[in-house]
């Protein structure tokens, strides 16, 4: 019996680190009414070039400028794919096993194509340029967000884990020796907000092949996630009065200085 296991930080205590993939995550990965992994929309502008992170860091040209470089986006959330038992397969057979990602939710468009970014606006202050991603909530990549990525499918030599097509584990950099044999580490990027808790249902299945190592074996697994959007605010002087209470400002700029001189709580704390 061959199993396929997809795991993510379903109990939301590992942030952007690799999850332990233990039972406490596995047991709630598709629990109804739960968010699954909470994903933050990748909409900041890490390199401050006016192009949001979800349209940056890979080989796409926007405003006549190539966005292909490293350190153009925040990190993504790691997700682990594992096939077992691996002793059944040689290293080359393990690499030849094929899997397919698809939506486990008929009511929502889960996957977004990184090739599709639609600019609108004239670039004036009244009509700033906006970059709209393809519909769908997430992308799965085989590289992290701070790495330079290629938007082509992994089946064409790129880094995007395209849904609904068979993909060889060798194309997902499967580990073929040591303790992590059979493991592929993937990365999830959020590009559009969820409309319901847990509506990002990421399903993976083995693709049977009469000529491949699996034969007619099939198996599948699923993890759920929710994309949360935090509105970016640009406070101006009239937003906060000195000593004002009952207003909270959350900074979205972690890397550069961002502060207000107004006191926003009665306790005089910023
Ligand atoms: Ca699992
Ligand atoms: Ca966890
Ligand atoms: Ca940018």
Distance (Å) from CA 253 to ligand 2 centroid: 25
CA of 77 to the centre of ligand 2 (A): 12
Residues 143 and 112 in one domain: yes
Regarding whether 245 and 152 lie in a shared domain, the answer is no
Distance 7 CA to ligand 1 centre (A): 4
Total number of domains constituting the chain: 2
Same domain, 209 and 252: no
CA of 60 to the centre of ligand 3 (A): 12
Token output for 241: 């009065």
In angstroms, what is the span from residue 65 Cα to ligand 2's centroid? 39
Instruction: Identify whether residues 171 and 239 lie together within a single domain.
Output: no
- 25 and 152 in a common domain: yes
Same structural domain for residues 146 and 52? yes
Block means of pLDDT (10 residues each) for the chain, 270 residues, are 94 96 95 96 94 97 93 97 92 94 94 97 91 97 98 98 97 96 98 96 92 82 94 61 59 47 47
Q: Are residues 98 and 220 in the same domain?
A: yes
What pTM did the predictor assign?
0.85
Ligand 3 centroid vs 142 CA: distance in angstroms?
Answer: 20
Closest ligand relative to 18 C-alpha: 2
Statement to judge: residues 16 and 79 lie in one domain: yes
Separation CA 193–CA 42 (nearest Å): 10
Count Cα neighbours of 40 within 13 Å in the Cβ-side half-sphere: 16
Range of the domain at 95: 3-230
* Span from the CA of 78 to the centroid of ligand 2 (angstroms): 11
* Same domain, residue pair 134 and 268: no
If asked whether residues 108 and 178 sit together in one domain, one would say: yes
DSSP sequence for the chain: --EEEEE--TTS-STTSPP---HHHHTTTT-TTS--EEEEB----TT-SSS-GGG-SBS-EETTEE---SSSS---EEEEEEEE-GGGS-HHHHHH-EEEEEES-TTS--B--TT-EEEES-SSSSS--EEEEPSSSEEEESS-TTS-B--SBGGGTSSB--TTS-EEGGGGT---SSTTTTEEEEEEEE-S--SSTT-EEEEEEE--BSSSTTBT---EEEEEEEEE-PPP----GGG--TT--S-------SSS----SS--STT---
Indicate if 157 and 252 belong to the same structural domain. Answer: no
Query: Do residue 56 and residue 164 come from a single domain?
Result: yes
């Amino acid at each position: 019996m061959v199993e396929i296991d997809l795991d993510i930080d379903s109990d939301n205590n590992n942030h952007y680190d690799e999850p332990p993939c233990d039972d406490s995550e596995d047991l709630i990965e598709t629990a109804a009414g739960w968010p699954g992994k909470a994903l933050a929309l990748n909409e900041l502008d890490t390199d401050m070039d006016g192009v949001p992170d979800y349209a940056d860091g890979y080989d796409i040209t926007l405003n006549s400028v190539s966005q292909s470089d490293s350190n153009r986006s925040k990190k993504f959330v790691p997700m682990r794919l594992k096939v077992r038992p691996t002793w059944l397969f040689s290293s080359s057979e393990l690499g030849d096993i094929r899997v397919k990602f698809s939506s486990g939710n008929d009511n929502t468009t889960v996957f977004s194509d990184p090739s599709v970014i639609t600019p609108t606006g004239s670039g004036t202050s009244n009509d700033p340029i906006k970059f709209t991603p393809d519909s769908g909530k997430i992308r799965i990549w085989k590289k992290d967000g701070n790495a330079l990525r290629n938007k082509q499918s992994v089946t064409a030599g790129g880094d995007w884990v395209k849904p609904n097509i068979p993909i060889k584990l060798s194309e997902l950099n499967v580990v073929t020796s040591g303790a992590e044999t059979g493991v592929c580490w993937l990365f999830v990027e959020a590009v559009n907000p969820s409309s319901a808790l847990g509506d990002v249902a990421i399903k993976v299945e083995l693709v049977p092949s009469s000529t491949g190592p699996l034969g007619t074996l099939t198996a599948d697994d699923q993890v759920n996630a929710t994309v949360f959007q935090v509105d970016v605010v640009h406070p101006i002087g009239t937003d906060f009065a000195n000593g004002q209470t009952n207003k909270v400002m959350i900074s979205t700029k972690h890397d550069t200085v961002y502060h207000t001189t107004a006191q926003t709580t009665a306790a005089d704390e910023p």
